[in-house]
Amino acid sequence: MSGGKSWFLRGLRNGVPIMLGYLAVSFALGITARNAGLNWLQAGLASLLNNASAGEYAGFKVIGERSGLVEAAVMTLIANARYLLMSCAFSQKLAQSTSLSKRLLLGFTVTDEIFGCSMAVDGFLEPAYPYGMFAIATAGWTSGTILGVIVGNALPPRLISALSVGLFGMFLAVIIPKARQSRTVLVLVALSMALSWACSVLPGISSLSSGMRVIILTVLLSAGAAVIRPVRGDTDEP
């Protein structure tokens, strides 16, 4: 068996747990897409081409509020900006002989989970490995979104509202462990919640769409935290 094929099959095998997790989360995302007025085909294509839970959720919310295309593009860019850094880190794991086409495809496959598994590989990264994880993970992500839309159309409104909470549970599962480890993250989470509520009631800014308010708060809080409490490199100091 060739090296590329064996790495691809290894990626398929290791991507099964990722696929199962994506299937559950994207089902709730499909409910959000359905509430925004998208049909199963539109929601499925969105998940196939945009493999990012936070970015997709933000995009669906903007669509549901009938906001402009520019706002939707900026919102998605900010929500998915971390993948630019992940792609840069990926590039350091590739052999210099890796072709541009493989690098571009690798950039498209980047998700948080695939990035973590790929960076754990010793030595240079064989692109076929994340390709394998992506192939099975994106199948779960896309099918879960489609299933959420289809099932959502058949369920009563109260149950739909209850299922929509599942996506917020995923976001809490992401931020709570980090908040427990870092006081800075904890303060930022609390501050973002307080400011988000304040912006929804204050005159002037409350008239903006929720998507635009999220964009403003995200940029201001992340920039402020980077200036006040930057992440330091490894040093000998405790």
Residue 134 burial class via C-beta count within 10 angstroms: exposed 0-12, middle 13-18, buried 19 and up: buried
State pLDDT tens for residues 22-70: 888 888 888 888 888 899 999 999 999 888 877 788 888 888 888 777 8
Q: Are 82 and 218 in contact (CB under 8 A)?
A: no
pLDDT at 238: 39
Lowest average pLDDT, out of 71-80, 88-97, 142-151, goes to 71-80
Per mean pLDDT, which of 71-75, 98-102, 171-175, 211-215 is the most reliable?
A: 98-102
Residues in the chain: 238
- Record the pTM: 0.68
Is pLDDT above 60 for 194? yes
- Confidence category of residue 93, pLDDT binned at 50, 70, 90: confident
Dihedral angle computed from the Cα positions of residues 47, 114, 14 and 9, in that order, rounded to the nearest 10 degrees: 80
**C-alpha 52, offset from chain centre:** 3
State pLDDT tens for residues 212-236: 677 677 778 878 877 887 766 544 4
* Amino acid found at 8: F
Give percent above pLDDT 70 in the chain: 86
**Mean of the per-residue pLDDT values for the chain?**
81
Q: What share of the chain is helix, strand, coil (3-state, %, to 5)?
A: 80, 0, 20
pLDDT at 157: 66
The mean per-residue pLDDT over the stretch 119-148 comes to 90
pLDDT at 165: 62
pLDDT at 236: 43
Give percent above pLDDT 90 in the chain: 18
Is pLDDT above 90 for 135? yes
State pLDDT tens for residues 150-186: 987 777 766 666 665 655 665 676 677 778 888 888 8
- Confidence category of residue 137, pLDDT binned at 50, 70, 90: very high
pLDDT, greater one: 44 or 92? 44
